[in-house]
Amino acid sequence: MDLITEKIKKTSLSTKQDRFGKFISVSALVLIAAIVVLIFGFVLTRGLATFTTNKISVSDFLFGTNWNPSVVDKKTGMPGVGALPLILGSLAVTFLAAIIATPFAIGTAVFMTEIAKKRGAKIMQPVIELLVGIPSVVYGVIGLTVVVPAIRSIFGGTGLGILSGTIVLFVMILPTITSMTVDTLKGVPRHYRESALAIGATRWQMIYKVILRAATPGILTAIVFGMARAFGEALAVQMVIGNSATMPDSLVSPAATLTSVLTMGIGNTVMGSLQNNVLWSLAMILLLMSLIFNIVIRLIGRKGELK
């Protein structure tokens, strides 16, 4: 009798296994969360060192126009730590690329979901998937061997600059925006289309006045996603932008972005020095921007839900 009660009351083998499995899987989850916290913790502490240890003022850093951390400016007696040219460079390529990519992405997505469904699935779907798969250095190589010489021969100069960066990024983020837009358009209920057509709308009127309106929050999310990717892209941009950290005054003269300065500089500075700390501050800006893009995506999502 005792034996049976004991056996029933005792935790069974499968319960133990279940607890073990649950423990293992939850620790994997905790590990991922911990990595994210660590990344933010370390990059923020290093990035803030510029302002705490080196006593650089935040406004000098954000709005200064002279980027040359290894040289002390004679006028101000301070090293050139103005990151504005880099921030502007990053924002310029990001926004320009998104502006060019958006009509192409929406057009392709509409083609795939509304106009030629069969060909869309057969031809355009693989095209988009292949474009997503192409590594960013390859985009950089193509930019360097095709885009830069083309711009050089049209506008003169070196061909390196914001325009080249924009074109390379445009092709890079196009598949991202397109595939997300396709998902949104597919999510527009069928009866929207049927009702529009039933009251006599042409196909274009249906697309323009009903489907695209209904899908606007999703399309905006897609664009912001593309911009986040463009803002954080490093190597492809670094290869074609020219890496000259001066205030960008034209689209076809060499410029620099946050990521390009980071990739070029971090290996050439000594850990803990001012030159190194300001680079970490740039990384911090990148991190915060990616957070801001995330928040914007959430806000759009919430606003879309309310409707």
Partner 1 sequence: MKAKTADKIATGVIYGIAASVAFVLIAMLAFILVRGLPHLSWHFLTAAARSFEAGGGIGIQLFNSFYLLILALLISFPIALGAAIYLNEYAKPSLFITIVRTAIEVMSSLPSVVVGLFGFLIFVVKFHLGFSILSGAIALTIFNLPILTRSIETSLSQIPNLQREAGAALGLSRFETVIHVILPASVPSIVTGVVISAGRVFGEAAALIYTAGQSAPTLDFTDWNPFNLASPLSPFRPAETLAVHIWKINSEGIMPDLSAVSAGASAVLIIVVLLFNFSARRLGNLLYKKLTNS
Q: Is 160:254 a contact under the CB 8 Å cutoff?
A: yes
Q: Is 177:105 a contact under the CB 8 Å cutoff?
A: yes
Name the 3-class secondary structure at 80: strand
Residues between 208 and 227 that touch partner 1 (CB under 8 A) = 208, 225
268 binds partner 1 (CB under 8 A): no
Scanning 63-71, 73-81, 92-100, 114-122 for contacts with partner 1 by CB under 8 A, the matching segment is: 114-122
Question: How many of the chain's residues bind partner 1 (CB under 8 A)?
Answer: 87
Residues between 225 and 244 that touch partner 1 (CB under 8 A) = 225, 228, 231-235, 238-239
**CA gyration radius for the chain?**
26
133 binds partner 1 (CB under 8 A): yes
Residues between 80 and 99 that touch partner 1 (CB under 8 A) = none
- Member of 134, 150, 154, 247 binding partner 1 (CB under 8 A): 134
Could you tell me the CA-to-CA distances from 257 to 39, 83, 197, 248, 249 in Å, in that order?
Answer: 22, 9, 48, 10, 14
Residues between 54 and 83 that touch partner 1 (CB under 8 A) = none
- Member of 64, 80, 89, 140 binding partner 1 (CB under 8 A): 140
Name the 3-class secondary structure at 79: strand
* Cα distance between residue 68 and residue 126, in whole Å: 45
- Member of 10, 35, 57, 72 binding partner 1 (CB under 8 A): 35
Q: Which one, 24 or 198, has the nearer CB to partner 1?
A: 24
Give the HSE-up count for residue 168: Cα atoms under 13 Å, Cβ half-sphere.
36
Smallest separation, CB 133 to partner 1 (Å): 5
- Member of 49, 83, 169, 171 binding partner 1 (CB under 8 A): 171
Residues between 182 and 211 that touch partner 1 (CB under 8 A) = 201-205, 207-208
- The partner residues of 79 in beta bridges, in order of sequence, read 72
Scanning 16-24, 67-75, 92-100, 157-165 for contacts with partner 1 by CB under 8 A, the matching segment is: 16-24
Q: Which one, 189 or 200, has the nearer CB to partner 1?
A: 200
* Cα distance between residue 282 and residue 83, in whole Å: 8
Read off φ and ψ for residue 256, nearest 5 degrees: -150, 155
- Member of 10, 39, 52, 149 binding partner 1 (CB under 8 A): 39
172 binds partner 1 (CB under 8 A): no
131 binds partner 1 (CB under 8 A): yes
- Member of 88, 100, 141, 251 binding partner 1 (CB under 8 A): 141
* Cα distance between residue 66 and residue 60, in whole Å: 10
Q: DSSP for 128-165, please give it.
A: HHHHHHS-HHHHHHHIIIIIHHHHHHHH-S-S-SHHHH
